[in-house]
């Protein structure tokens, strides 16, 4: 599905610009669109996009993320399941609470042994499952 999303996005972008999409046929399908996606992303970063000023409450939500990730890192992720690029992979085993550098209590958790940090993680997962998330 992700490949389909990339292809459709690239086709729509090139159609709106009046250009043609050309990708190498010699690469594995998982990687053949990466260079083109990087080119389009650079173009959008430099010149913006027309929808940038559209900010209705249904489309735009402002949140404060405190998940321990690296802000503004431009390194590519190895997979859609990754939280960190290859340069920052070591941070995967450190507590995700901002300012805490202790090791994770287990590799399946996101926090250290601190009771406060564990409570924060439990609240995070409770909110992820909450019914109010399903309302539009």
The confidence band for 41, taking pLDDT boundaries of 50, 70 and 90, is: confident
pLDDT digits (tens, 9 = 90+) for 7-22: 899 999 899 889 998 8
Partnered with residue 103 across adjacent β-strands are: 94
How far is 48 from 69, CA to CA, in rounded Å? 25
How far is 132 from 129, CA to CA, in rounded Å? 9
pLDDT digits (tens, 9 = 90+) for 64-73: 555 556 667 8
Q: Which of 94, 105, 102 is nearest to 67 (CA)?
A: 94
Provide the pLDDT for residue 131: 60
Q: Which of 92, 62, 64, 63 is nearest to 78 (CA)?
A: 92
Domain assignments of the chain as residue spans, ordered by start: 2-53, 64-136
State how far Cα 101 lies from the chain centre: 22
Is residue 66 within 8 A of residue 97, CB to CB? The reply is yes
Provide the pLDDT for residue 8: 92
């Amino acid at each position: 599905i992700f490949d389909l999303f990339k292809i459709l996005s690239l086709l729509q972008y090139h159609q709106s610009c009046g250009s043609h999409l050309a990708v190498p046929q010699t690469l594995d399908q998982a990687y053949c669109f990466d260079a083109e996606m990087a080119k389009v992303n650079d173009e959008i970063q430099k010149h913006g996009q027309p929808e940038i000023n559209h900010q209705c409450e249904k489309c735009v939500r402002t949140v404060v993320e405190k998940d321990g990730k690296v802000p503004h890192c431009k390194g590519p992720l190895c997979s859609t399941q990754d939280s960190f690029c290859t340069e920052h992979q070591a941070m995967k085993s450190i507590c995700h609470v901002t300012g805490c550098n202790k090791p994770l209590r287990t590799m399946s958790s996101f926090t250290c042994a601190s009771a406060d940090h564990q409570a924060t993680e439990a609240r995070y997962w409770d909110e992820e499952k909450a019914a109010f998330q399903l309302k539009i």
